[in-house]
Amino acid sequence: MSKIFVIGSVNMDLVICVDRMPKSGETLSGYGFMTNPGGKGANQAVAAAKMNAATYMVGCVGNDAFGDELQKALDDYGVNTRYLTRADSNSGIAVIIVEKGDNRIILDAGANDKIIKEKVEQALSQASEQDFCICQLEIPLDIVEHAFCLAKQKGLTTILNPAPAVKLGENILRNVDIIVLNETECEILADVIPQSQEDYKKVFEFFSGYNIKSVIITLGSKGSVLIEKDNIQYTPAFKVQAIDTTSAGDTYLGAIASELAKGKNLTDAMKTASAASALTVTKKGAMQSIPYYDEVIKFLERQKTSG
């Protein structure tokens, strides 16, 4: 099987639930506080590993208790952490406020800003043409650019999740094969709010200008859509009771990469990823809410039976 190299963030999530968001200057009582290992990069790596893909995490944690806990969590979930480094810094932190199953997140990058190019080079020196390289934007953009440039030189398939979204230069975008983004990220990057087939075509026209071959837009409860040259393919979402959406998007992307690494096509990968994402939102937390491959397959089988 192909290998997946995730170059990205590793955070400790500090989560609290509220019935409503506080107003400016207001103090509210919350409930259900918990700490969870997370971070977009780490969540995506765990999702790919739980879906039975050989997955390597390239990132940085701090020399603190959170750093110890984060590395242990990645190891426990089957992610190879030989390229995870330590920095003389606090680990990355995400403060997450959950309101009625939806979330708002505040980040302190911490050690995520300390990823070094040499570690990226060391990791990708072990990669081959059939492998995959995934990046997000919770790490410095020059690291993303360097990683994708190296990955394309070696013939890897590159997957970008442009979150948190910022305008990106062509040095990054021209080295992307597949981009997976939500509606808000579409608006920020491509200046299009995707609500119709014409909008999807406009989004693809923007990204194909940088030679990106496949665009996947996640649409929340409406599912997701794949746009390629002369092809628009919808994948519906599965109906579940959402409890916590914290790592739903990361699960989706990790599952996509895992299925592609197994030789599946994008359409089939999107269906499996939608199932994995649906299961994720039915549980609280980040990494621990991500389902294993067997759980996803059983869920899909139940959907066939009930359908």
Instruction: Single out the residue of 144, 151, 196, 195 nearest to residue 165, CA to CA.
Output: 144
Q: What pLDDT is stored for residue 94 in this prediction?
A: 87
Q: Is 250 a catalytic residue?
A: yes
Whether 307 shows a pLDDT value over 80: the answer reads: no
Residues 76, 250, 268, 294: which is the catalytic one?
Answer: 250
Task: Reply yes or no on whether the pLDDT at 306 is more than 80.
Answer: no
Per-residue pLDDT, 303: 87
The two structure tokens encoding residue 32: 């259900």
Instruction: List domains and CATH numbers for the chain.
Output: 3-19+31-306 (3.40.1190.20)
pLDDT of residue 243: 79
CA-to-CA distance for 1 and 33, rounded, in angstroms? Answer: 39
Confidence of residue 221 (pLDDT cuts 50, 70, 90): confident
Residue 27, helix vs strand vs coil: coil
pLDDT in tens, 137-184: 999 999 999 999 999 999 999 999 999 999 998 999 999 999 999 999
Distance CA 157, CA 159 (A): 7
Distance CA 283, CA 227 (A): 30
| Digit-coded pLDDT (tens) for 99-126 | 887 778 888 999 999 999 999 999 999 9
Q: What is the mean pLDDT of the chain?
A: 94
Could you tell me which residues come within 8 angstroms of residue 237 by beta carbon, excluding any fewer than 6 positions away?
219, 220, 221, 222, 223, 224, 274, 277, 278
